[in-house]
Amino acid sequence: MNQPKLTLLLALLLSLQTACTDFTPAVLKEKSTQTGNALFQFRKSQRTGFVDGTGKIVIEPKFETTRDFHEGFAVVSLWPTEKWGFIDEHGNLAFQQTYDSADDFSEGLAPVTIKQKTGFIDKTGKMVITPQFDDADSFSEGLAAVIVKGKIGYIDHSGKFVIPPTYSEPGEEGFTPYRFREGLALADFEDGWCFIDKTGKVIFKRGQTNLTSGFQEGLSPIEVNGKIGFQDKTGKIVIEPRFNFDSGYFSEGLAAVSLNGKTGYIDRTGHFVIKPQFEQAFEFSEGLAVVKVGEKYGFLNRSGEVVIQPQFDEADHFRKGLAPVGKGGKYGLIDKTGKIVLPLEYDQVEGFPVMF
């Protein structure tokens, strides 16, 4: 897992769908698994804390690095020890044990690394899968990707291999996890990319033409000859590739696609329901999507109406009713009416923008 390597890699991948950068279809947006009251990260004076949905500070900014809350816990760096641990929603250290690296809870378990081997703990902090893997990702749809001797396989909640370590570990920047989404995962064979099911069976191959890490709402973008279209779970192309590279996934029934230098939204038939008119447009989340008009970002509803006027230098998607926005290098949170809930005076909010 190599925390900060895997963490930074995941942050980089997720940032590719953030409105402060060029849009790319390469990566799916992670869904929050936070339970209880929503908590939102903010960063000030090089320390991170959390506010609630009203903008009230509930955990003072005292951590060097944190991740979002997942299932009631957040991963934090325990500076200056170079160790990692978990805090609860009150900001208290949840377990006495600390780790060389740690990742998010998902499906009741979290991967942790001790002495260069990764295992999994439960929500009491008990090690329920012995550290034995060279790296591991969080669980998704009942399986977790793990690395053994440079090969990726998948284990179940008991730690038993369901799919043996077979697939190549891509790149040289550390473990790139390919989680199961809607029953399929992307895998790298020596002769090209393919999608596998939860038994490891190859469902279809696409060589090196896929620009996707998975399916969303039953469809996945695919690149053919420099153009983006969409394929279904059998590998059949159902929306012909004709859109520019900066096109994205389906979300809430629509996909942002670019054509002739402008971005709009298509439905599942491939027809435009919101005509291309924006410099950039992004996935819908909670009924609203970030769009760029001129040099400013605002928010659009599914009827194509701009409901929060473009006024921000940067903006990201809504989660639990709030969205991070930025002006002049400072960041805060707004609600769905555009009202500022957390003043735009922080260095970073909700990990936005991604910083290295």
Q: pLDDT tens digits for 145-200?
A: 999 998 999 999 999 999 999 888 655 444 455 789 999 998 887 767 788 999 99
Of 182, 148, 181, 184, the closest CA to residue 167 belongs to 148
CA atoms of 166 and 153, how far apart (whole Å):
6
Query: Residue 230: beta bridge partners?
Result: 221, 239
Of 197, 203, 216, the closest CA to residue 154 belongs to 197
The domain locations on the chain are: 251-356
Comparing 28-32, 219-223, 228-232, 246-250, which segment has the lowest mean pLDDT? 28-32
98 φ/ψ angles, rounded to the nearest 5 degrees: -120, 165
216 contacts 251 by C-beta, under 8 angstroms: yes
Mean pLDDT across the stretch 81-96? 95
Q: What are the structure tokens assigned to 61, written together?
A: 């900014």
| pLDDT (0 to 100) of residue 201 | 93
5 φ/ψ angles, rounded to the nearest 5 degrees: -65, -50
User: Taking the domain 251-356, which CATH number applies?
Assistant: 2.40.128.630
The pLDDT > 70 percentage for the chain reads: 83
Mean pLDDT of the chain: 86
| pLDDT (0 to 100) of residue 79 | 86
DSSP code at position 218: T
CA atoms of 138 and 136, how far apart (whole Å):
7
Q: pTM (2 decimals)?
A: 0.83
| pLDDT (0 to 100) of residue 170 | 57
